């Protein structure tokens, strides 16, 4: 567990290129800001980035083999991620790679496939206040995170969020309009740990904030693999082979 953690931040990288206001907030892309935060709080980590437009979306076999935890930000282009790459990422998660899915990534094909549900939700985007409350104060992902974490303006997500019952419920957000949302949830899938964290809409540049960066750094540490990467497979051992 003492080797430096290897992190890969993936972003579709479209809003920042096409919308000047978002480019102004994120001149190095959303992935760039997330990566900066991870480098800041985890100085020993290896932090790389990848985007949709690169060959194989930057998610080559070699890149994933070299990744302990993959961060995923996507919104408009979920359908542009190729089948082969969705297969590859999901297989790596089941084999043990950690995965942190951010904001509108709830509708990414990687996340919906790992969940098996629609992952649909209620939303509005009127820039209202979001309070992120910790409901599992001793969870490693919540350590050092203010309670509540206050976002003065953000997109509103609300229940019903169609996910399987999470293994652990870490954060619940309350919104100015009265909505609530399970905004920080964990899932084990195969040998891999998955954390979904809802804050992070492209219009509100929260990935520069220390408190949000603390959540992401904690999630990176929490999701890292505990052992070698192996996809669970069917076996047919003879009687007594275990004894």
Scanning residues 168 to 227, which ones bind a copy of itself (CB under 8 A)? 168-169, 172-180, 182, 187-193, 225-227
Check residue 190 and give left, alpha or beta (phi > 0: left; psi -120 to 50: alpha).
Answer: left
Q: Which is nearer to a copy of itself, 32 or 158 (CB)?
A: 158
Candidate list 80, 117, 208, 210; residue touching a copy of itself; CB under 8 A: 117
Closest to a copy of itself by CB, 53 or 137: 137
Return the structure tokens found at 20: 């000047």
**Cβ count within 10 A of residue 17:** 13
Among 70, 121, 216, 219, binds a copy of itself (CB under 8 A): 121
Beta pairing partners, 38: none
Q: By the 8 A CB rule, do 171 and 181 touch?
A: no
Q: What is the DSSP letter of 82?
A: -
Question: Per CB under 8 A, does 75 bind a copy of itself?
Answer: no
Q: Which of 124, 132, 118 is nearest to 171 (CA)?
A: 132
Angle, in degrees to the nearest 10, between helices 210-223 and 29-41: 80
> Which one of residues 24, 61, 84, 124 is an interface residue with a copy of itself (CB under 8 A)?
124
Could you tell me the smallest distance in angstroms from the CB atom of residue 76 to a copy of itself?
Answer: 14
Q: Taking contact as CB under 8 A, which single stretch among the options 45-53, 68-76, 138-146, 199-207 is the one that binds a copy of itself?
A: 138-146
What would the two tokens of residue 211 be?
């408190």
Tell whether residue 242 is a contact of a copy of itself (CB under 8 A): yes
Interface with a copy of itself, residue 62, by CB under 8 A:
no
- CA–CA distance, 138 with 206 (Å, rounded to integer): 24
Question: Does residue 27 interact with a copy of itself by CB under 8 A?
Answer: no
C-beta closer to a copy of itself: residue 127 or 205: 127
Nearest of 61, 54, 55, 50 to residue 8 by alpha carbon: 50
* Site residues (CB under 8 A) for a copy of itself, limited to 139-168: 139-140, 143-144, 147-148, 150, 158-162, 164-165, 167-168
Is 21 among the residues that bind a copy of itself (CB under 8 A)? no
Q: Are 71 and 12 in contact (CB under 8 A)?
A: no
Q: Of 55 and 237, which CB lies nearer to a copy of itself in the complex structure?
A: 237
Minimum CB distance to a copy of itself smaller for 174 or for 205: 174
Buried b / exposed e along 32-48 (16+ C-beta atoms within 10 A): bbbbbbbbebbeebbbb
Task: Kindly tell me which of 51 and 186 has the beta carbon lying closer to a copy of itself.
Answer: 186
Q: Min. distance of Cβ 26 from a copy of itself in angstroms?
A: 25
Size of the site for a copy of itself (CB under 8 A): 73
């Amino acid at each position: 567990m003492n080797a430096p953690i290897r992190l890969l931040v993936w972003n579709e990288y479209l809003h920042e290129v096409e919308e000047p206001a978002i480019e102004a907030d994120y001149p190095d892309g959303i992935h760039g800001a997330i990566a900066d935060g991870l480098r800041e709080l985890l100085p020993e980590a290896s932090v790389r980035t990848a985007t949709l437009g690169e060959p194989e979306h930057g998610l080559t076999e070699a890149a994933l083999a070299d990744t302990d935890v993959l961060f995923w930000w996507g919104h408009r282009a979920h359908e542009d991620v190729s089948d082969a790459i969705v297969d590859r990422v999901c297989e790596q998660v089941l084999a043990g790679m950690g995965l942190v899915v951010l904001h509108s990534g709830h509708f990414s094909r990687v996340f919906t496939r790992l969940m098996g549900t629609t992952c649909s939700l209620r939303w509005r985007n009127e820039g209202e206040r979001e309070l992120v409350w910790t409901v599992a104060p001793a969870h490693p992902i919540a350590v050092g995170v203010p309670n509540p974490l206050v976002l003065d303006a953000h997109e509103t997500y609300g229940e019903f969020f169609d996910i399987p019952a999470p293994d652990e419920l870490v954060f619940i957000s309350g919104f100015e309009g009265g909505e609530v949302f399970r905004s920080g949830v964990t899932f084990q899938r195969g040998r891999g740990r998955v954390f979904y964290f809802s804050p992070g809409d492209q219009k509100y540049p929260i990935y520069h904030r220390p408190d949000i960066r603390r959540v992401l750094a904690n999630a990176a540490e929490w999701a890292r693999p505990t052992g070698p990467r192996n996809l669970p497979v069917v076996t047919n051992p003879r009687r007594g082979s275990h004894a």
